[in-house]
Amino acid sequence: MIRFRGANNSNAELFIVQAVQGVGDGIVTPILLTMAQLQVKHVELGQITAIILMFSTLGAGVRSSIAGGLYTNIFLPALRSRLGAGASETVINSVYNSITAADLPA
């Protein structure tokens, strides 16, 4: 699915990828909630549902924090290493700052 999120793809391809991921999430999440809810008494349904959703949200936050830490602390030195001594600081910064742009610089 990473290939379909590339810079030169159409909006239709991006929509299809998001739709497939949404369907997958829509199938998995209710199953996980139902499995957890089957294991507890009726009076504890709200608690187990809240715990499952809390850990899901907490995991997403940790994942985003790790990704942000890697991007800010490791990505730039790795670019310098991979692009070699021949790459100017302008080129390195251009690639580094292009992660949120529509396409990578040449």
Q: What is the C-alpha to C-alpha distance for residues 39 and 81, in angstroms, rounded to an integer?
A: 51
- At 14, the pLDDT band (50, 70, 90 cuts) reads confident
- The per-residue pLDDT for range 29-72, each reduced to its tens digit, is 889 889 999 999 999 999 999 999 899 899 989 999 998 898 88
pLDDT at residue 2 in the model: 59
More confident residue, 11 or 34: 34
- Spatial separation of the C-alpha atoms in residues 87 and 78, rounded to whole Å: 13
Check residue 44 and give its pLDDT. Answer: 93
- Report the pLDDT value the prediction gives residue 98, as an integer from 0 to 100: 76
Mean local confidence (pLDDT), 67-80: 87
Question: How confident is residue 105, by pLDDT bands cut at 50, 70 and 90?
Answer: low
CA distances from 43 to 35, 38, 54, 70 (A): 16, 12, 19, 42
What's the predicted TM-score (pTM) here? Answer: 0.58
